[in-house]
Amino acid sequence: MNYQEMYRSFGIDGEVLAFSEEILNDLKDRFDQIDQMAEINQLKVICAMQENRVSEACFQGSTGYGYNDLGRDTLEKVYAHVFRGEDALVRPQITCGTHALALALMSNLRPGDELLSPVGKPYDTLEEVIGIRKSRGSLREYGITYRQADLNPDGSFRYEDIRGAINERTKLVTIQRSKGYALRPSFSVVKIGELIRFIRSVKPDVIIMVDNCYGEFVEEKEPLEVGADMVVGSLIKNPGGGLSPIGGYIVGKKECVENAACRLTSPGLGREVGASLSANRSFFQGLFLAPTVTAAALKGAVFAANLYEKLGFHVIPDGRETRHDIIQAVELQSPERLIAFCKGIQAAAPVDAYVTPEPWDMPGYDAKVIMAAGAFISGSSIELSADGPLKEPYTVYFQGGLTWPHAKLGILKSLQTMKDEGLIIWK
C-alpha cells in the first residue's frame, strides 16, 4: 500500500490529505525550529544523565521504606541538573500535577502567610487547594490567605496592581507558565523572568514558584534560569515522555525542596524514605524521550492551528505565534463540530479507538464536557487528547501526541469527521 492508500484505509480522503500537504509545505521552517529545540534539550538531558552516572543499577526499584534507593536519588540529581536547580524531589508518591503544586505550597507556607498570583486566576484544580472555592484541607483552612492581581485584557502584567498586592505577609508568589484552559496567552520564560525581576525589586526575599505544567522542553531555558526558586510539574505531561506511569516533580532551592520532602513523607524522615517500586526505569527513559515527544506534540499543535485557521476558525495561539506550551485551542462555534472533532481524535488512537466519546456532566463544571483520549497511561495528556465544554464558543483544547505521525493522523481524522458529517464548508 502506498501513502494515500494507507490514509484511505483510515477513512482520510484525497481532498483532506491534499489540503494537509498544502499546509505542511508552509510549515517546513517551523518544524525545523522545533527539531532544533528538541536537539538542544536532548543534549541537555543526556549530559545530565552522564554527569550523574546513570547506570543499569539505577533501574532497580526499592520496596518498603525505600532507604538508599540509588535510582530515585540519581533521578532527582538528574532532574536538578536538567532544570538547573540545587535540588529536586521526583516521586511516584506525588500523584499528579495538582498534588505536586499543593505539596510545594503547603510545605513552604505557614499560618499567617499570604500567597500571591500575579497572573490572574490559577488552574481550576488549584482553586480548591488555595480555598478560592471552599474545600476541605485548603490553605485557607490553615490560615493562609490568598491575593491575586489580574492580567490586562491583552495578557500583559499589571505591574502597579502587583506592587499594591505585595505586603509584609506575602511569602510565596505563584506564576503559571501555561494558560492551561484559560483564554490568556502562555508566558515565555523571558516574560516570566521580567515578572520575577519586578517582584524581587518590590520584595527580594519572597519565594517564587512556577507552575511548569505543559511548558517543559518547549524552550531552551526553564524558569529557574530566570530567577524562580521552585518549578513544579507532572510526570504524565511533558517530562514523563509518555512512559512515566505516575508522578510529579519539584525542583529548585534546597530549602524549598527540603520543605516539600518533609511534608510529602514526614518531618524527620523527609526524602530518605519513599520506595520507587518499579517506576525508576520509566522515569529515566521517559525523561530521555521527553524533548522529542514534546517536539512531536508541538508539531501537532502548530499543524492544527494552521489547518483550522485556514478553514476560517479562530485558533489560540494563532498559526504563526511562537509556542510556550503544547496546548492548542480551536473555537469550533457549534456543539456538533466539537463532538465530531473529539470523535476524530478518538478514532485515531492506538488504544480504545473503537469507543465513541460522549458529552457528560463532569463534577465541577457548569456545562457538559466531552473528552477524547486513547492513552497507554490513563489520563496522560502528553498523549494525544482533546476536550472541551459544550458551551459557547465551543472551544476544543487539544494537546499531546507521542509521535508526530500520530498527532497528524488525529488532526486529519478530526477534520475528516467534520467533513463527512457536513459540518464544514469545503472549498
Where on the chain is the footprint of ligand PLP (CB under 6 A)? 96-98, 101, 123, 125, 176, 178, 180, 211, 213-214, 234
CB of residue 178 vs ligand PLP: minimum separation in angstroms?
A: 4
Cell of 364: 465541577
Which C-beta is closer to ligand PLP: that of 62 or that of 212? Answer: 212
What is the rounded CA–CA span in Å between residue 376 and residue 95? 17
Which C-beta is closer to ligand PLP: that of 98 or that of 107? Answer: 98
CB of residue 237 vs ligand PLP: minimum separation in angstroms?
A: 6
What is the rounded CA–CA span in Å between residue 329 and residue 210? 22
Residue nearest ligand PLP (C-beta atom): 97
CB of residue 97 vs ligand PLP: minimum separation in angstroms?
A: 2
What is the rounded CA–CA span in Å between residue 243 and residue 30? 27
Cell of 90: 521526583
β-bridge pairing 248-252 and 230-234: antiparallel
CA within 13 Å, CB half, 19: 21
β-bridge pairing 395-399 and 328-331: antiparallel
Asked if 245 and 377 touch (Cβ cutoff 8 Å), the reply is yes
Question: Helix and strand tally (H, E) in the chain?
Answer: 12, 12
Which C-beta is closer to ligand PLP: that of 49 or that of 246? Answer: 246
CB of residue 184 vs ligand PLP: minimum separation in angstroms?
A: 12
CB of residue 288 vs ligand PLP: minimum separation in angstroms?
A: 21
Which C-beta is closer to ligand PLP: that of 67 or that of 360? Answer: 360
Which C-beta is closer to ligand PLP: that of 226 or that of 231? Answer: 231
CA dist 310 → 293, 304, 336, 398 (Å): 26, 10, 20, 17
Asked if 116 and 174 touch (Cβ cutoff 8 Å), the reply is yes
Which C-beta is closer to ligand PLP: that of 41 or that of 399? Answer: 399
CB of residue 253 vs ligand PLP: minimum separation in angstroms?
A: 21
β-partners of residue 145 are 114
CB of residue 351 vs ligand PLP: minimum separation in angstroms?
A: 19
Which C-beta is closer to ligand PLP: that of 12 or that of 228? Answer: 228
